Amino acid sequence: KSRVVELRELAESMNDMGLEIKAKIKALQDEERRRNELIANLSHDIKTPIASIRSYSEALVDEVVTDPAEVRNYLLGIGKQTERVVSFANELLAIAAIDDKEIAYKPEVVWIDELILDTLQAFEAQISRENRLIDVQINEDCVSVVTDKVCIQRILYNLVGNAIKFSKPGTSIKLHIYCDNTFTYMEVKDEGIGIPEDELERIFERFYRVEKSRNQQYGGSGLGLAIAKELTEFIHGKLTVSSGQGIGSTFMVQIPNQRV
Ligand code: ADP
């Protein structure tokens, strides 16, 4: 090779290296930006309920409210906001467990009727208080499925919780379980506010919430669906959604069958 060719090759490889370094720097900067956003989100989500707990308790201590019914409302408010912080902490722990691969796939026979009953039991008080009709339909061929019980319970819990949260009291929620030779399908359908079509892709992202204003009204961390989706994939399934604004949403968990 002539010296000129050698030098040109050297220059080209240095150029390639330069581009590679630039791309790496950009990736690191992006990661740093995402991390900062995440920390900002986290501290906001923790500060908001704590700020309301503080103002409720200050009002009680300063005896701004003394009427027993109002005092009770303030105490209920404190309880609700405390619940928000606790459930946020639990969701963060669940996400951390997924990231640290601390969860193990432990397949066992899961009886469908028990699974649905357990899930609904967690919301029993709210369901009766809000006068809701829960329509459960289990196809007679789907008695059980072999999967990780803890994961599938958590997935359904998050989906039913959202169905209740994003629909009005008095409206109905439908759970429909059916199966074919390969899969078991679990649908959670509500008659709630729905999700705008252009946001459907993003709702499964960690911390993603549709419209900030909505969130003020409903509360929430934006982690529930990310957890549901990641756990569904962990048990070799798929989580999909279809929704119409003002009509309602249907989330479908599809998991591979190993029935007994
Ligand atoms: P959040 O803690 O806010 O409920 P999720 O990850 O569970 O977080 O959901 C992300 C966003 O998707 C919610 O903020 C909400 O706007 C929207 N969403 C989820 N489930 C429903 C539903 N059943 N009906 C309408 N919107 C929903």
- Kindly tell me if the per-residue pLDDT of 214 is higher than 80: no
Reply yes or no on whether the pLDDT at 183 is more than 80.
yes
**Looking at per-residue confidence, does 119 or 87 come out higher?**
119
Reported as a single tens digit per residue, the pLDDT across 12-49 is 999 999 999 999 999 999 989 888 887 887 888 888 89
Q: In this structure, which residue's CA is closest to atom 25 in ligand 1? A: 194
Distances (CA, A) of 46 to 56, 74, 79, 185, 252: 16, 19, 15, 36, 31
What radius of gyration do the chain's Cα atoms show? 24
* C-alpha distances out from residue 43 to 28, 38, 200, 211, Å: 22, 9, 26, 19
Q: Which of 174, 175, 195 to mutate to test the pocket of ligand 1 (most atoms within 8 A of CB)?
A: 195
Query: What residues are paired with 239 via a beta bridge?
Result: 253
| Predicted confidence band of residue 184 (pLDDT cuts 50, 70, 90) | very high
Phi, psi for residue 39 in degrees, rounded to 5: -65, -40
Tell me which of 225, 245, 247 to substitute to probe ligand 1's pocket, judged by most ligand atoms within 8 Å of the beta carbon: 225
Per cent of the chain over pLDDT 90 is 73
Q: Is the CB of 226 under 6 A from ligand 1?
A: yes
Cβ(164) – ligand 1 distance below 6 Å: no
Are the CB atoms for 163 and 248 separated by under 8 Å? no
pLDDT at 212: 62
Q: Please check the confidence at residue 213 and state whether its pLDDT lies above 60.
A: no
DSSP code of 182? S
Cβ–Cβ contacts within 10 Å for residue 74, how many? 16
Other CB atoms within a 10 A radius of the CB of residue 72 amount to: 11
Taking residues 187-210, report their average pLDDT.
93
Q: Where does the pLDDT of residue 101 fall: very low under 50, low under 70, confident under 90, or very high at 90 and above?
A: confident
88 CA → ligand 1 middle, Å: 14
Q: Tell me, in angstroms, the distance from the centre of ligand 1 to residue 138's CA.
A: 25
Query: Which value, to the nearest 10 degrees, does the dihedral of the CA atoms of residues 160, 164, 170, 176 take?
Result: -20
- Would you say 98 and 231 are in contact if contact means Cβ atoms under 8 Å apart? yes
Beta carbons within 8 Å of 224's beta carbon, 6+ residues apart: 91, 158, 161, 162
- pLDDT computed for residue 137 by the predictor: 97
Weakest-pLDDT range from 108-117, 210-219, 233-242: 210-219
State the Cα–Cα distance between residues 70 and 82, nearest whole angstrom. 18
Strand pairing category for 172-179 and 133-138: parallel
Rounded distance from Cα 160 to ligand 1 centre (Å): 11
189 close to ligand 1 (CB < 6 Angstrom): no
Residue 41's pLDDT is what?
A: 78
- Residue to probe by mutation, ligand 1, list 88, 132, 154, 166, most atoms within 8 Å of CB: 166
| pLDDT value of position 66 | 93
Mutate to test the pocket of ligand 1, among 48, 159, 206, 209 (most ligand atoms within 8 A of CB): 209
Query: How much of the chain exceeds pLDDT 70, in percent?
Result: 97
Ligand 1: distance of its center to the CA of 209 in Å? Answer: 6
Q: Where does the chain show beta strands of DSSP type E?
A: 107-111, 133-138, 144-148, 172-179, 183-190, 238-244, 248-256
Query: Could you tell me if the ipTM is greater than 0.95?
Result: yes
CA distance 72 to 54: 16
CA distance 88 to 228: 15
pLDDT digits (tens, 9 = 90+) for 122-171: 999 999 999 999 999 999 989 999 999 999 999 999 999 999 999 999 99
The pLDDT assigned to 215 comes to 60
